[in-house]
Structure 1
Amino acid sequence: MGIASWAGLWFGLALPAIVIMYLFKRKYLDTIVPSHLLWDRVLRNIEANRPWQKLQSRLLLWLQLLAAALLVVALMLPFVWVQGGRQGHTVIIADTSASMSAVLGTEERDKDTPGTTLDRMKKQLQEDIDGMSSGQEVTLLKLGSQPQVLLSREKDRNALKKAVSEMSADYGKAAYRETLSLASALTRNDPEASVEIYTDSQWPEGSGSGNVVFDVPVQVNSIQDEKAGNTAIVQFGVRQDGEEDGVLGIAVVKNYRKDIMETSLDLYGDGQLLASNQVVIEGGKSATVSFGQLDSAEVYRLSLSGEDAYAPDNEAFAFREEAGSANILLLSSGNLFLEKALQLTGARVTRMDPGASTGKNGGSGVPALPDAKPDIIVIDGAEPDFVREGAWRDLLKETPLWTWGGGGEKAQPESGETETLSHPVTRYLSLSEAPTGQLLKREVPVWGEPLLKIGSLPAAYAGKDQGVARLVFLFALEDSDLPLRPEFPILVNNAVEWLQTGQATGIGRVMAGAKLDLPVAADDVEGTWIPQEGFALQAGAGHFSAERKQGVVSSRQMSPGIPGLWRLEVKGSEGAEQRTFLVQVTADPAESAFEGMRQLPVAEIHSDKPAEGSDQMESGSQAGQSDSLISKSRQSLVYPAALLALFVILAEWGVYQRGRSI
């Protein structure tokens, strides 16, 4: 039994008031006296009104107290939890996160039981829909990378079952807290509502679900395989190990199981087996595995063999980084500090004075392009006019660019307070004093993020414009004391490393459903995503078109939703060369960390016990084992209590009419 409004207890003050009234009630005794004693009436009245008389048991008193008590109970809005029989609004949350694609063990499967946790959830959910009452309204929420309302207040069972059958796993970062918050909002101030969650209970600790508060009953239907476990490739990369030593591969593998796991790691290069290692990992531990002297390949694939419940993290891909030091083109009239700092990074620096014409282009005054395409272009000072047109413009458009200062209006910061923001370029730096007193007055573009602020003005920003790295410092080196500081070589080294990021045969790694920047050209009119290798190919993923904007391929694409190696084929206008980008798509790494049964961190559900067996907690605290919550609905006791109070009042009236002798 539960109470919906404790404010009704205030009416309970009527109970002592009734008792006090009986204590002060006039008391008369039936006595036969001679007529000459009538003068004694005044004395008897005074004696009859004496306070705090002995309280006597009277039927009228008990009936009045019972009636008042029943009215108090009715005002408190009492209710009881009853099994089933729901007629109100039920919000169903169907978990489709990546861990739901885990394959059930052979003991958990039979000819009628599907192979994955998601398949089993869909089957159970459809069976539960068949058992719902005809008048029950159901809102179906899909818990994926974002909360999705599939159906709202639907009564048609066939429509609900059809929506359930069309669900598929979402391998991006699951929106656990957002989905619970939406369900809480949909059921708020609705005493007849309830929430049901269908999940494998494998929710990351940082999901924030413990901060969501419900004021309606919640039932968790846990679909789990007690023997499920996972071993995952956490990291994998390759690099050139010297000019003659070949390629070095390094991988980190973690065993999320409780027992020891022995597995085989096979490394392929462009489809050919290059190396294989046996590794034994203790439960809950990680192991680092190295592969040395590998043959050169465009794409490397590391595969984890053996029985494993969760397949999306059993493969990882790496792209060969371009060998050798960076080739940097420095456009500067002369800056010894900057040139030496660039050389200290191991880069080959070619300096070109933009003020001196080489005369190699028919005396036009426009210098010729360098013989070898630079990996990075650094412009010290104002941008030369010749880089805004022709072949130079195209070169700068597709090459990582670092600029210092430039032309335009300048502003002086209102204070010298310097803030260094977190970024790979500012790693290991702590600039506490302003390096300059004047900054170019520019706004940070949409593709950039601030690296350094002086006062409230940005002093440097970085980002990728159409997939190409850009680094901008809004002050000239000659106007700064930064080259004289010990942090300057560190800053230059960080900048060169960051500008070189992604200079490989592939674009890199991205989470499923996340946004990524691609260096597409302005005349690329068509693009197609094609699964190349890995889980996506095994899952039967098909081709689909790339996103377009204003008739051309957008430089900001949403990555495919299924993990694996994907190829983006981009076609330009008629006669243009077709280009290809390789992207490794991964599932959310947090979904890999599961090991069989565990508690689901669902928030506090109600201020009272919503169901038998659940622990009462303070609002907003984290709930205990949610599987103990039983599906129940409220049955109000207000009307029975009020009706009973009415019968007692009628009985009291009958007693009152019969007189005080009772």
Structure 2
Amino acid sequence: MIRFLSPGFAWALAVPAVILVLYLLRRRFLPQQVPSVFLWRKSIRDYAANRPFQRLMKNLLLPLQILAALALALALMHPAIPGGAAGQTILIFDVSGSMQTQTAGRTRLDTAKEEALKLVRTLPTGEEITILTAGKEPERLALSVDREEAEQTIASITCGKDGADTDKALSLADAIARNTDKDTGTNVVIYSDDLRRSRISFRSEAFALTIVNCGAGEENRSVYSLEAENGQAFARIANFGEACRVSLTCEADGVLCDARETEIPAGETAGVSFSIPETAKVVRVSLREKDALAADNAAETPVKRAANRKAAVTSDSLFLESALKVRPELTVMRTEESALSSTEADLYILGISPMIITRKLPEEGYDPEAKTFGPFSWEEETTAVTGSPAVGLMDTPLTKGLTMKNVFFRCIRPTTGGKTAVSLDGKPVIAYTEGTVMLGFDLHDSNLPLKYDFPVLIQNILDWLLPEETAGETDAVAPMALTESDVRTVAPNDEPEELMERNAQGRELTGILLAVFLFLLLAEMGVSRNVG
């Protein structure tokens, strides 16, 4: 059965009727000079009733024009023939923050929905359609629904601010595909913006995968980090575009309290500080200039209330002690490893390579020669770093606001245990557990302490191990993930895998009808030339 993908153009079917009416109403006489019309009057009366239809029979232009108008009207309605046997189609929508990027007033998600609706309308009758979203966690919005319900579900999809875990969504799709009673196969289509097949680690033989990337690359600026305490707020601004000057406003509890301007080089970041009232509870920093992604132009944070803390440090590092000053309430005490058991502190910073930062010492005490600490262990010898290996950032509390751009290491001491936060060529160099953070390198063997990332890293570690109290309950919304703000590129659509055979999927007839229209138009022009 033929289906029309754009039924709103059905009004064009009235054009052939208009042409017919114009032919019936048109009067066409050839002037002739005769001696008398007396004998013609009776013949004219008999002929008058049948004359319009006789004119139509003799005019070849009329049927050509009607057929051409009909072909064009049907082409505008985008007719399509659905495929044969019904099976299962799973649609996965990337709902990460970058899908809110606008181009010419339309978001990437809007484009993804439009592409998905076109596909849904060509699916065979009886096709089971499942709709999933890929965000921080996958979500199933509809399971084995028909076309009408699928269209309604697609229209209701919205984006968040987090990234998209495509592998988790594909794992859920795999479970659904293996659970179906359809024997005609399953096709999975992912609608994203910068997804490449090479980035997908999950593989399955239960379905055929197609990737559809939507939108266009755009420049963008974002407020990606915000901290507030002790009458000060500090924001970090990222510039994913050409060098520019930006204006920022700072609000405390909804009231404007400060404004700043700053220059940001192309592809770099900049820090901006603001003065806030001592009694402020929630601070909001916003970019005044509009760009392609409005969702990352503002960030909110609760104001922290400091409590006096102590940190016991066994190593002698000016870099570390300087970075610890990001928490003014933290008092640094130098101590010897042999005196740790009698030292009371809220935080212990042990060793140099690796450096252990922990809230609590083991009951059996700290032994630097053991090469273990809790769940962590490390090698006795360091590993030299050659070349420029890739620095990998996991999505963790420790890496919030980090870029690790142009950070190098001379040597590292790979560790095992805990969760990896930062890796170097796949080897963990920063790992953590609930109460301990491990730095698998000597600070003097890296240029990290000279980068802005270092105080941000220390701040994140302290926030993780020694969280500060906030000024009561707030509804502050966290900034968008920095990776979602870089919307300068959109990946090309990968070549789809071979679809299941039953998807000799519906074929659109628009091209055929346009060809028929052009043929009839040329034929009409030829006939008109001959008649003339």
Report which of the two has the higher share of helix: 2
Give TM-score scaled by structure 1 length.
0.39
Higher RCO (C-alpha under 8 Å, 6+ residues apart): 2
Highest Rg: 1 or 2? 1
